Amino acid sequence: MTLKRTLIRQAVLTVVAALVFVPAMKAPARSANAETMSAANYAAMNPGLANPNPRLHPKPLKTWVCLSSWYGGDFDGQVTANGEIYDMYAQTAAHPSLPLGSVVRVENLRTHKSAIVRINDRGPYVPGRSLDVSYQVARELGFAHRGIARVRIELLKVPPSKTLHEGN
């Protein structure tokens, strides 16, 4: 029995070593300009890597830059413009004119962090600001402490219009 266990243990270690160490030895040395190389070019030079799937990062319908702020505690538990209860820890935002239910990617231009959020409320009601994100999104983007940030908004999805389905 112990010989059989020893053989099995050696076989398992051989397989693990092959899976861990052989790919590491085959990896090409990183060139000095690898940081500036596009993901597609890097993947072409390294055939073992998967190519990026453009459907995972859909092309935005529209892109613009604006000033964003966040809203949280005072509004937590209140009813939003679309009838939901506001949750300051949800991936949501308020915009004055985008259709409720729209999905946008918000990128903080200072930190380059981004989050995908759904528009479920109206606002902000402060001149010069075009987007209010939830407290959680502001934390993820790195501006909860500052309160405001210049952001890039990419409109990814607009919900279907209700008037198209009513038949009148």
Tens of pLDDT, residue by residue over 49-58, are 445 455 666 7
In this structure, are 21 and 93 located in the same domain? no
Q: Residue 158 carries which DSSP code?
A: -
Residue partners of 97: CB distance under 8 A and separation at least 6: none
Among the ranges given (34-48, 52-66, 88-102, 147-161), the one the predictor scored with the smallest mean pLDDT: 34-48
DSSP 37: S
Q: Per-residue pLDDT for 23 more than 60?
A: no
Residues 123 and 154 in one domain: yes
**Angle value at C-alpha 39, between 67 and 57, nearest 5 degrees:** 50
- 46: pLDDT strictly greater than 70: no
Q: Is residue 52 part of a domain?
A: no
53 in a domain, yes or no?
no
**Are 79 and 154 within one domain?**
yes
74 and 136: one domain?
yes
Residue 101 has pLDDT above 60, yes or no: yes
H or E stretch covering 139: helix 135-141
- Quick one: average pLDDT of 121-139? 96
- Please report, for the domain that includes residue 108, its CATH number: 2.40.40.10
Distance CA 88, CA 101 (A): 17
Task: Give bridge partners of residue 155 from the DSSP assignment.
Answer: 62, 104
pTM for this structure? 0.65
Same domain, 100 and 32: no
Looking at the fold, whether 12 and 78 belong to one and the same domain comes out as no
- Asked, for residue 104, whether it belongs to a domain, the answer is yes
Residue 51 domain flag: no
Domain count, the chain: 2
Inside any domain, residue 122: yes
Look at residue 21 and tell me whether its pLDDT is greater than 70.
no
Regarding whether 141 and 91 lie in a shared domain, the answer is yes
Q: Residue 83 domain-assigned?
A: yes
CA atoms within 13 A on the CB side of 129: 18
Calculate the alpha carbon distances from 163 to 81, 103, 106, 149, 167 in Å: 19, 20, 28, 36, 7
Q: Which domain holds residue 75?
A: 60-164
